[in-house]
Structure 1
Amino acid sequence: MKNIPIIILVQILAATALLAWRYLLAYGEPNGYAAFTSFPAAGSQALLFLGWNLFLALVPYALSLLLPMAQHRLLGAAVLFIWLLFLPNAPYLITDLIHLRPRPPVPIWADILVFFFFAWTGLLLGLASLLNVQRYLLRWHTIKQTHFWIIGFAVLSSFGLYLGRVDRWNSWEAFLEPMHLLRHSLSLLSDPPIVLLAFLGFFTLLQGLGYAFFYHLSTSNPKTSTR
């Protein structure tokens, strides 16, 4: 699947165009500009947060593209660590579906289209990122070992997704407040709430199955047609 970067580029451009189209639906009315300048409600009404979240979802994918350039194993480990911190931002776009609600004058079907397209784009970025990391890990591990690494990353990503969506932590706070985040994480894991277990189960399964599907596509040889 050498055309994955092209597919992702098309997805991002399409998502950006959809958000711009929705902006015209929301603020194309005579009083649209006045409504847009009435912050802070404007950002939510225009769904501008989806654009920011899409940018954050791009970060782990971009980092996964940089991994092959890391010639030294220690440098690769550092990039991999930062990649893992930002990986939850990709599936995070799926959880933005909780913001789906009527926002007149935009028809609800338009918002459904925008939210689901952004969710799919975030999932695609995450899965492509996992594939890139798996290929990088093949330098030092067997194929079977890399699959176990990916499963572990999917579990950690799901935990980070819970921290971001439910507890409202940001990826960069791992650098700004590392000890606070560590204590909070250990407290959660010592007595995990049912919502955390649901997050871990659902999003680990989603990322795991998605990775398995795309891995199969990337490694399967096209059959030659015979007459």
Structure 2
Amino acid sequence: MAPLSLRPVLGLLGGLSGVCVIVHLLATPQTYYNFLIWNLFLAWLPFLFSTAALALNGRRRLGPAGLFALGILGVAWLLLLPNSPYVLTDLIHLTVRRELYTEAGRLVLTYWTDFLLIFTFAWTGIILGMLSLYQFQYIIFTRTNMAVSWLFAALASLLSGYGILLGREYRLNSWDVLGKPSAVLDIVSDTLEPSSIIVCLFFGTVLLMMYATVHTLLGLAARDSRSWPY
């Protein structure tokens, strides 16, 4: 497992984010979808935390204070991670506003422009989340082994699926764990039912499959780059 080369990754993600904002400002004069910009900002946070953790982990010697800081970054990252794939669920707004997208029983052009707009934001959020998870899996890999790192990735994916449920259905934010702990505990107890568990497992499994795909592609790219003569 190889570390990410941050310069091209940051260039790619920054470019994607810029395209998202520019397309939104130029193609959608209405303000309804302005929340996408906020959600994209939240999607960046786990990547920033994982990048900071990766830099800290790269130091030769980490004393107790360094390990404690790494743990704090890890907890914050895990709480924020669902924000990245969460943007994909914003596609539900196309269903909520479906009466505005039909005319004489057919979809109007605005539907497709809004669909592509949301999908572009969602794609950027997903890539941010996948690369962020890759960074933290690499940290776990350097301190344990490959099997433990994949167990960590699977657990993080399942918890992200649960976080998406809490965010979409119960309108909880990552920081509510600190600001409204009692309300979070009440909602968590309400979600311990078969239907919620199935939804979480479904989301988590899909995220893990997506991540495994990205992980495989990154591995192939790293192997091919070593074999290039230039």
- Read off the aligned partner of 2:43 and give its amino acid letter: A
**What's the Cα RMSD here?**
2.2
- Read off the aligned partner of 1:205 and give its amino acid letter: T
- Following superposition, the deviation at residue 94 of structure 1 comes to 0.6
What do the CA deviations read for 1:165-202 (whole angstroms, capped 9, x no partner)?
0011111111101233123213422xx151x2343133
- Alpha-carbon distance between aligned partners in 2 of 1:73 and 1:138, rounded to the nearest angstrom: 15
| Equivalent in 36, 49, 71 of residue 50 of structure 1 | 36
Stretches of structure 1 that go unaligned for 5 or more consecutive residues are 27-42
Report 1:94-113 matches (<5 A): 94-100=88-94, 101=97, 103=100, 107-113=110-116
- Following superposition, the deviation at residue 106 of structure 1 comes to 7.5
1:23 matched to 2:28 = yes
- Alignment identity in percent? 28
Counting matched residue pairs gives 204
CA contact (8 A) 1:158 1:200 kept: yes
1:121 matched to 2:124 = yes
CA contact (8 A) 1:127 1:214 kept: yes
- Alpha-carbon distance between aligned partners in 1 of 2:138 and 2:168, rounded to the nearest angstrom: 29
TM-score (norm. length: structure 2): 0.81
- Following superposition, the deviation at residue 225 of structure 1 comes to 7.5
| Equivalent in 54, 57, 82 of residue 68 of structure 1 | 54
- Read off the aligned partner of 2:68 and give its amino acid letter: L
Q: Which residue of 2 aligns with 1:215?
A: 215
| Equivalent in 144, 147, 159 of residue 144 of structure 1 | 147
Return closer, same or farther for 1:148/1:50 CA change in 2, 3 Å cut-off. same
- Read off the aligned partner of 2:123 and give its amino acid letter: W
Stretches of structure 2 that go unaligned for 5 or more consecutive residues are 57-61, 102-107
CA contact (8 A) 2:84 2:126 kept: yes
CA contact (8 A) 1:22 1:106 kept: no
- Read off the aligned partner of 1:65 and give its amino acid letter: T
| Equivalent in 167, 170, 173 of residue 170 of structure 1 | 173
Question: Counterpart of 1:169 in 2: which secondary structure?
Answer: coil
- Alpha-carbon distance between aligned partners in 2 of 1:141 and 1:186, rounded to the nearest angstrom: 33
Q: Which residue of 2 aligns with 1:31?
A: none
- Alpha-carbon distance between aligned partners in 1 of 2:186 and 2:67, rounded to the nearest angstrom: 29
Q: By percentage of residues, which structure has more helix?
A: 2
TM-score (norm. length: structure 1): 0.82
What do the CA deviations read for 1:48-86 (whole angstroms, capped 9, x no partner)?
001111111111111111102334111111111011111
Q: Which residue of 1 aligns with 2:206?
A: 206
- Read off the aligned partner of 2:79 and give its amino acid letter: L
Q: Which residue of 1 aligns with 2:105?
A: none
